[in-house]
Structures are given as structure tokens and as C-alpha cells.
Copies of this chain bind each other. A is one copy, B any other.
Amino acid sequence: MMAKNIKKRSIKSGLPPGTLVHIGEKSDREIKITVMDYHAGGCEEKEIKALKECFYYSDTSIVSWIDVEGLHEIEIVQQVGDCQGLHPLVLEDILNTDQRPKVEDYGDYLYIVLKMLRNEEGGGIVTEQVSLILGSNFVISFQEGMEGDVFNPIRERLRSGKGRIREMGTDYLAYALMDAIVDNYFVVLERVGERIEELEDEVVTDPRPETVRKIHQLKREVIFLRKAVWPLREVIGALERRESKLISETVVVYLRDLYDHAIQVIDTVEASRDMLAGMLDVYLSSISNRMNEIMKFLTIIGTIFIPLTFIAGVYGMNFQLMPELHWQWGYFACLFLMLTVAVFLLFYFKRKKWL
């Protein structure tokens, strides 16, 4: 999973900065651009193909949210960027889906990068880069993948006018989008938590070689998660400190709430890491307990029968003069001797608590 991320990157080395290259999986589907223009009184929604249709309302009471799903057609992203006057490095970063979460202040607009997480069928975690451009009267969101429906509840709220969202500015919209992304982390972490619990049971009750593989796999995923989640603290913290004039004071309280959620996400990831760290040790001790049990059994069987077999061997020797062989009760005395030895050894093991 890691190597996959890195590979994507190296194809860019040697190119001048600002060169637009899409780093990520290719797709055949068409890019989908949705525009929602809203104000306190209403909301207009349209889906567009080319960006020439896209222009502003100079009236700042109208907020435009342009959502771009899919990044594989460079020209379209270029168009959007040119239309809004975005810096070439921003466009480059939007297309390079291997960014670290960050926030950058370009004066007229803020550029925010976050990671969306999704549980994969087979148990893994998939990330998808989301770039937000927060301007004074528009928000543009670029989503790497096409199947993200995390923003649907926000669209619904805009359509219905529920909550305060239509009365607030672009900063609140950006907050709402980030909140939707961070809230979704809990769904992913919940699945990780469940898998940890399953593994904890498996490790104690039924440790198998596959268990190690699973533990290792989950560890890798948590390392991966951590990389996506750690920078959140910094990003949201910077927004909350209102270093940009694009963030209004009324939104700060919401950002503080979001910051709390981010901290909680990080705490949970760290706790998962701690939990996984010790699990291999528990596995090894489970395995070594089993070995121990088997070894003990072998020892008992072995050490009881070895002397007995020796005695049998002695009386199987063919010396001419072996007085015991001619005693009447010799055979039974011999069997009795064997029994005595066996019982003695069993008592010895019992006393040593090996049995």
C-alpha cells in the first residue's frame, strides 16, 4: 500500500514546478461538476460539463459551491483553476493526490487538503484526496474519487434550508465539508476497532500463522491512517486561530468543535497503535504456551517409557548366565518393577507441577 503511494510520485521528478500531472488512478468515467448557488432565501443547483458556464455573482450574499468529482482530466481542472485565478502550484497539488493534509493561505483564497477515508471490501482502508478552495464568495471542492457520497447530507441541508447553513458564508460551508469528512473517520475507526477486538480474541483463543499476518496488516493500515490523520491537528488549529480574514468569528466556535473531533480521532488512532503493539507479544506467548503443553506431554510419555524400555531391553539380552530369567516369578517381578518405576515418575511429575 505504501509503495503504491510512493510510486505514483516519482514520475514527476525532473518536471518544472507547476506542471500539471495527474498522480492517481485513471478512470474512464466523465468528470462531474456540480454547482450550488445559495443564499438565506433559496438554493439553485445545476450540473455542468464545461466550465465556461461558470461565473460569479458579484453580490456576495450568494455563495457558490463548485464540486468537482474526479481529477483524471487535466484540462477540466486547468479550466476551473484559470477561471478562479488559482496559482499553478495549487493546481499541481490538487492533481497530485499524494499530498499531506495542509492549509495554505494565498491571500484571496485558502487552499485546504484533506484525506477522505473509506473501508474497502476486503478489510483495507482506501484514502481519497479532497482539496478545498475557500474564497470570499465561493468554495470549490475537488474529490479524487467518484463514489464519495459523504457530502450528500450537506447538499440535502442546502436544498431544504435546514440548520443555519444557508444563512452563513463560505467559511461555514468549508467547515461543514471538513466536518463531514472528519465525522466519516469515526466510521472507519469503528471498523478498525472491531477488527482489533476480533484479533484480540483470535490471538488468545486460536492463534494461527494467519493471525500474525492479520496483525501485521492492521498495523500497516494504522501506520497509514496515522499519516493521514496527524496533520489534521495542525490544519484545523491554523484555521481556528483565524490567521486568514476569510474565517469569520462566528465560525470559530464550530472550528473549535471540529478541532476537538480531530484530536479525538488522533487519540483513537494512537490508542489503536498501542493496542496492536502488544498483540504480537500476546500471540507469541499463546504459541509458546501451546509448545509448552506439547513439550510437557512428550516429556512425560518419553521419560516414563524410556526407563521401562531399558528394563525390557536388559531382560532381552542373550547372556547364558542371567539368574533372574530362571526365577519362577521373574517375569512378574519385572513387570512389577516397571510399574513401580512408572508410578514413581508420575508422582515426581505431579510434585513438580508438570502434570
> Which residues of A pack against B, CB within 8 Å?
2-3, 5-7, 9-10, 12-19, 87, 89, 92-93, 98-100, 102, 104, 106, 150, 152-153, 157, 162-165, 176, 179-180, 183-184, 186-187, 189-190, 193-194, 196-197, 200, 204, 209, 212-213, 216, 219-220, 223-224, 227, 253-254, 256-257, 260, 263-264, 267-268, 271-272, 274-275, 278, 280-299, 301-303, 305-310, 312-322, 324-326, 328-331, 334-335, 352, 354
8 A-B residue pairs with Cβ-Cβ distance under 8 Å, sorted by A, are A2-B197, A14-B150, A99-B264, A204-B213, A310-B312, A312-B317, A315-B318, A317-B334
CA distance A180 to B152 in the complex (A): 41
Q: How far is the CB of A340 from chain B (nearest CB, A)?
A: 15
List the number of copies, as a whole number.
5
List residues of chain B with CB within 8 A of the CB of A190: 3, 6-7, 9-10
> A302 contacts which of B291, B301, B324 (Cβ < 8 Å)?
B301
List residues of chain B with CB within 8 A of the CB of A180: 13-14
User: Among A10, A98, A307, which residue has the most Cβ atoms of chain B within 10 A?
Assistant: A10
Evaluate contact between B189 and A6: CB separation under 8 angstroms. yes
CA distance A165 to B18 in the complex (A): 12
A7 nearest in chain B by CB position: B190
Evaluate contact between B260 and A17: CB separation under 8 angstroms. no
> A317 contacts which of B153, B268, B331 (Cβ < 8 Å)?
B331
Evaluate contact between B319 and A187: CB separation under 8 angstroms. no
